[in-house]
Amino acid sequence: MSDNDAAAVRNDNPAGNNHPALLECCGGLNNVDYSKMDLTLMEAFLKRINVYDSRLCVAVIAIIFNPLFWNVVARWEHRTRRLSRLFGSPYLACCCLGFVIILLNIYRSHSMTVAMKAQARWELMERTVVFYTGIAFMVFGTLLVVSSFLALGFTGTFLGDYFGILMDEKVTGFPFNITENPMYWGSTANYLGLALIGASPVGLVLTAIVAVAYKVAITFEG
Protein backbone atom coordinates (compact mmCIF):
# COMPACT_ATOMS: atom_id res chain seq x y z
CA MET A 1 0.00 0.00 0.00
CA SER A 2 1.34 3.43 -0.91
CA ASP A 3 1.73 6.27 1.58
CA ASN A 4 -1.17 8.13 -0.09
CA ASP A 5 -3.48 5.12 0.24
CA ALA A 6 -2.54 4.68 3.90
CA ALA A 7 -3.25 8.33 4.57
CA ALA A 8 -6.66 8.01 2.93
CA VAL A 9 -7.51 5.05 5.15
CA ARG A 10 -6.46 6.98 8.26
CA ASN A 11 -8.64 9.94 7.24
CA ASP A 12 -11.68 7.71 6.69
CA ASN A 13 -11.16 6.05 10.06
CA PRO A 14 -9.29 8.62 12.16
CA ALA A 15 -9.99 6.95 15.50
CA GLY A 16 -8.93 3.53 14.34
CA ASN A 17 -12.46 2.25 14.97
CA ASN A 18 -12.97 -1.22 13.56
CA HIS A 19 -16.81 -1.07 13.77
CA PRO A 20 -18.67 -0.86 10.42
CA ALA A 21 -20.02 2.53 9.47
CA LEU A 22 -23.66 3.17 10.38
CA LEU A 23 -26.18 3.25 7.57
CA GLU A 24 -27.76 6.57 6.75
CA CYS A 25 -31.26 7.16 8.11
CA CYS A 26 -33.15 6.94 4.81
CA GLY A 27 -30.71 5.35 2.40
CA GLY A 28 -30.02 2.55 4.83
CA LEU A 29 -33.58 1.21 4.49
CA ASN A 30 -32.76 0.12 0.96
CA ASN A 31 -30.25 -2.32 2.40
CA VAL A 32 -32.75 -4.02 4.75
CA ASP A 33 -33.57 -7.62 3.85
CA TYR A 34 -37.32 -7.70 4.44
CA SER A 35 -37.42 -11.42 3.68
CA LYS A 36 -35.78 -12.02 7.07
CA MET A 37 -38.53 -10.23 9.03
CA ASP A 38 -40.30 -12.38 11.62
CA LEU A 39 -43.92 -12.56 10.48
CA THR A 40 -44.89 -15.39 12.82
CA LEU A 41 -47.42 -13.32 14.78
CA MET A 42 -49.02 -11.91 11.64
CA GLU A 43 -49.30 -15.38 10.13
CA ALA A 44 -50.83 -16.75 13.33
CA PHE A 45 -53.28 -13.85 13.40
CA LEU A 46 -54.39 -14.25 9.79
CA LYS A 47 -54.63 -18.03 10.09
CA ARG A 48 -57.50 -17.62 12.55
CA ILE A 49 -59.60 -15.53 10.16
CA ASN A 50 -61.82 -17.21 7.59
CA VAL A 51 -62.59 -14.52 5.03
CA TYR A 52 -64.99 -16.88 3.22
CA ASP A 53 -67.31 -17.17 6.20
CA SER A 54 -70.73 -15.82 5.21
CA ARG A 55 -71.31 -14.51 8.74
CA LEU A 56 -68.20 -12.36 8.45
CA CYS A 57 -69.44 -10.99 5.12
CA VAL A 58 -72.83 -10.13 6.67
CA ALA A 59 -71.12 -8.27 9.51
CA VAL A 60 -68.93 -6.28 7.10
CA ILE A 61 -71.96 -5.33 4.99
CA ALA A 62 -73.86 -4.21 8.11
CA ILE A 63 -70.90 -2.10 9.26
CA ILE A 64 -70.60 -0.32 5.91
CA PHE A 65 -74.33 -0.02 5.26
CA ASN A 66 -75.36 1.69 8.50
CA PRO A 67 -73.55 5.06 8.24
CA LEU A 68 -74.13 5.09 4.48
CA PHE A 69 -77.88 4.65 5.02
CA TRP A 70 -78.40 7.34 7.62
CA ASN A 71 -76.23 9.88 5.81
CA VAL A 72 -78.00 9.36 2.48
CA VAL A 73 -81.47 9.48 4.06
CA ALA A 74 -80.64 12.55 6.17
CA ARG A 75 -79.26 14.49 3.21
CA TRP A 76 -82.25 13.48 1.08
CA GLU A 77 -84.57 14.74 3.83
CA HIS A 78 -82.60 17.99 4.10
CA ARG A 79 -83.03 18.64 0.38
CA THR A 80 -86.64 17.48 -0.10
CA ARG A 81 -88.37 17.44 3.32
CA ARG A 82 -90.18 14.33 2.10
CA LEU A 83 -90.05 12.50 5.43
CA SER A 84 -91.31 15.53 7.34
CA ARG A 85 -94.26 15.83 4.97
CA LEU A 86 -94.91 12.08 5.06
CA PHE A 87 -95.05 11.95 8.87
CA GLY A 88 -96.64 15.38 9.21
CA SER A 89 -93.91 16.65 11.56
CA PRO A 90 -90.10 16.93 11.43
CA TYR A 91 -89.93 15.72 15.04
CA LEU A 92 -91.94 12.58 14.29
CA ALA A 93 -89.92 11.95 11.12
CA CYS A 94 -86.64 12.36 13.01
CA CYS A 95 -87.80 10.02 15.77
CA CYS A 96 -88.79 7.36 13.22
CA LEU A 97 -85.42 7.60 11.50
CA GLY A 98 -83.72 7.41 14.90
CA PHE A 99 -85.69 4.26 15.72
CA VAL A 100 -84.61 2.67 12.42
CA ILE A 101 -80.97 3.61 13.11
CA ILE A 102 -81.18 2.00 16.56
CA LEU A 103 -82.52 -1.22 15.02
CA LEU A 104 -79.77 -1.20 12.39
CA ASN A 105 -77.12 -0.73 15.06
CA ILE A 106 -78.57 -3.56 17.12
CA TYR A 107 -78.41 -5.82 14.08
CA ARG A 108 -74.84 -4.70 13.33
CA SER A 109 -73.76 -5.55 16.87
CA HIS A 110 -75.54 -8.90 16.63
CA SER A 111 -73.91 -9.77 13.31
CA MET A 112 -70.47 -8.83 14.63
CA THR A 113 -70.98 -10.97 17.73
CA VAL A 114 -72.11 -13.92 15.62
CA ALA A 115 -69.06 -13.57 13.36
CA MET A 116 -66.69 -13.39 16.34
CA LYS A 117 -68.20 -16.47 18.00
CA ALA A 118 -68.10 -18.43 14.75
CA GLN A 119 -64.38 -17.93 14.21
CA ALA A 120 -61.34 -19.05 16.15
CA ARG A 121 -60.05 -17.41 19.29
CA TRP A 122 -56.36 -16.57 19.62
CA GLU A 123 -54.55 -18.09 22.56
CA LEU A 124 -52.15 -15.16 22.64
CA MET A 125 -55.06 -12.85 23.49
CA GLU A 126 -56.44 -15.12 26.22
CA ARG A 127 -54.69 -13.27 29.02
CA THR A 128 -55.97 -11.50 32.07
CA VAL A 129 -54.45 -8.16 31.09
CA VAL A 130 -56.09 -8.34 27.65
CA PHE A 131 -59.45 -9.23 29.20
CA TYR A 132 -59.41 -6.29 31.62
CA THR A 133 -58.14 -3.95 28.91
CA GLY A 134 -61.21 -4.93 26.92
CA ILE A 135 -63.45 -4.16 29.89
CA ALA A 136 -61.77 -0.76 30.27
CA PHE A 137 -62.43 0.03 26.60
CA MET A 138 -66.08 -0.95 26.95
CA VAL A 139 -66.55 1.16 30.07
CA PHE A 140 -64.90 4.15 28.40
CA GLY A 141 -66.85 3.63 25.17
CA THR A 142 -70.16 3.34 27.01
CA LEU A 143 -69.35 6.51 28.94
CA LEU A 144 -68.77 8.40 25.69
CA VAL A 145 -71.94 7.09 24.06
CA VAL A 146 -74.25 7.67 27.04
CA SER A 147 -72.87 11.10 27.93
CA SER A 148 -73.10 12.15 24.27
CA PHE A 149 -76.73 11.08 24.12
CA LEU A 150 -77.56 12.93 27.32
CA ALA A 151 -75.85 16.08 26.04
CA LEU A 152 -77.54 16.07 22.62
CA GLY A 153 -80.90 14.49 23.36
CA PHE A 154 -82.70 12.14 21.00
CA THR A 155 -83.13 14.49 18.05
CA GLY A 156 -79.66 15.93 18.45
CA THR A 157 -78.18 12.45 18.39
CA PHE A 158 -80.20 11.18 15.45
CA LEU A 159 -79.58 13.87 12.84
CA GLY A 160 -82.22 16.35 13.94
CA ASP A 161 -80.34 19.21 12.29
CA TYR A 162 -81.09 17.68 8.88
CA PHE A 163 -84.77 17.94 9.77
CA GLY A 164 -84.43 21.60 10.74
CA ILE A 165 -84.41 20.77 14.48
CA LEU A 166 -81.53 22.84 15.81
CA MET A 167 -80.14 23.14 19.31
CA ASP A 168 -79.96 26.54 21.00
CA GLU A 169 -76.18 26.45 21.09
CA LYS A 170 -73.27 24.19 20.24
CA VAL A 171 -72.50 21.57 22.89
CA THR A 172 -68.91 22.02 24.08
CA GLY A 173 -68.92 20.21 27.43
CA PHE A 174 -68.06 16.59 28.14
CA PRO A 175 -67.60 14.45 26.10
CA PHE A 176 -67.32 16.92 23.22
CA ASN A 177 -64.35 18.59 24.90
CA ILE A 178 -62.51 15.28 24.39
CA THR A 179 -63.55 14.46 20.84
CA GLU A 180 -65.91 16.00 18.32
CA ASN A 181 -67.56 12.66 17.60
CA PRO A 182 -67.90 10.82 20.92
CA MET A 183 -70.82 8.69 19.74
CA TYR A 184 -68.79 7.24 16.88
CA TRP A 185 -65.55 6.68 18.77
CA GLY A 186 -67.35 5.45 21.86
CA SER A 187 -69.08 2.82 19.74
CA THR A 188 -65.73 1.87 18.20
CA ALA A 189 -64.19 1.52 21.67
CA ASN A 190 -67.05 -0.79 22.67
CA TYR A 191 -66.40 -3.09 19.72
CA LEU A 192 -62.67 -3.08 20.41
CA GLY A 193 -63.36 -4.03 24.03
CA LEU A 194 -65.69 -6.82 22.92
CA ALA A 195 -63.00 -8.20 20.59
CA LEU A 196 -60.37 -8.15 23.34
CA ILE A 197 -62.65 -9.79 25.87
CA GLY A 198 -63.49 -12.52 23.35
CA ALA A 199 -59.83 -12.96 22.29
CA SER A 200 -61.12 -12.60 18.75
CA PRO A 201 -58.78 -11.75 15.85
CA VAL A 202 -61.74 -11.31 13.51
CA GLY A 203 -63.23 -8.95 16.09
CA LEU A 204 -60.17 -6.72 15.78
CA VAL A 205 -60.55 -6.71 12.00
CA LEU A 206 -64.24 -5.82 12.25
CA THR A 207 -63.44 -3.05 14.73
CA ALA A 208 -60.93 -1.61 12.27
CA ILE A 209 -63.62 -1.64 9.57
CA VAL A 210 -66.00 0.16 11.94
CA ALA A 211 -63.36 2.84 12.57
CA VAL A 212 -62.75 3.33 8.84
CA ALA A 213 -66.50 3.47 8.11
CA TYR A 214 -67.00 6.10 10.82
CA LYS A 215 -64.01 8.10 9.60
CA VAL A 216 -65.51 8.19 6.10
CA ALA A 217 -68.90 9.13 7.57
CA ILE A 218 -67.35 11.98 9.57
CA THR A 219 -65.68 13.32 6.43
CA PHE A 220 -68.94 13.02 4.52
CA GLU A 221 -70.95 14.73 7.26
CA GLY A 222 -68.36 17.46 7.65
- On whether 129 is known to bind a ligand per the annotation, the reply is no
201-221 and 90-118 helices, crossing angle to 10°: 160
Q: What's the pLDDT score for residue 32? A: 60
Domain boundaries, the chain: 51-221
Give buried/exposed letters for 82-92 (b at 16+ CB in 10 A, else e). ebbeebeebbe
| Residue 66 CA: distances (Å) to CA of 61, 73, 80, 85 | 9, 11, 21, 24
Do 182 and 175 contact (CB within 8 A), yes or no? yes
Q: What is the pLDDT along the chain (222 residues), one digit of tens a residue?
A: 555 554 544 454 555 555 555 555 555 556 666 566 666 777 777 788 888 999 999 999 999 999 999 999 999 999 999 999 999 999 999 999 999 999 999 999 999 999 999 999 999 899 999 999 999 999 999 999 999 999 999 999 999 999 999 988 888 889 999 999 999 999 999 999 999 999 999 999 999 999 999 999 998 886
Tell me how far the alpha carbon of residue 53 is from its chain's centroid: 21
Instruction: For residue 222, say whether it is annotated as part of any ligand binding site.
Output: yes
pTM above 0.85, yes or no: no
Query: What is the amino acid identity at position 92?
Result: L
**Residue 189 identity:** A
Q: Is 153 annotated as a binding residue?
A: no
Flag whether 131 is marked binding. Answer: no
Rounded (10°) angle between helices 54-80 and 201-221: 10
Task: Please check if 28 is assigned to a binding site.
Answer: no
Q: What is the pLDDT of residue 9?
A: 45
Q: Are 193 and 138 in contact (CB under 8 A)?
A: yes
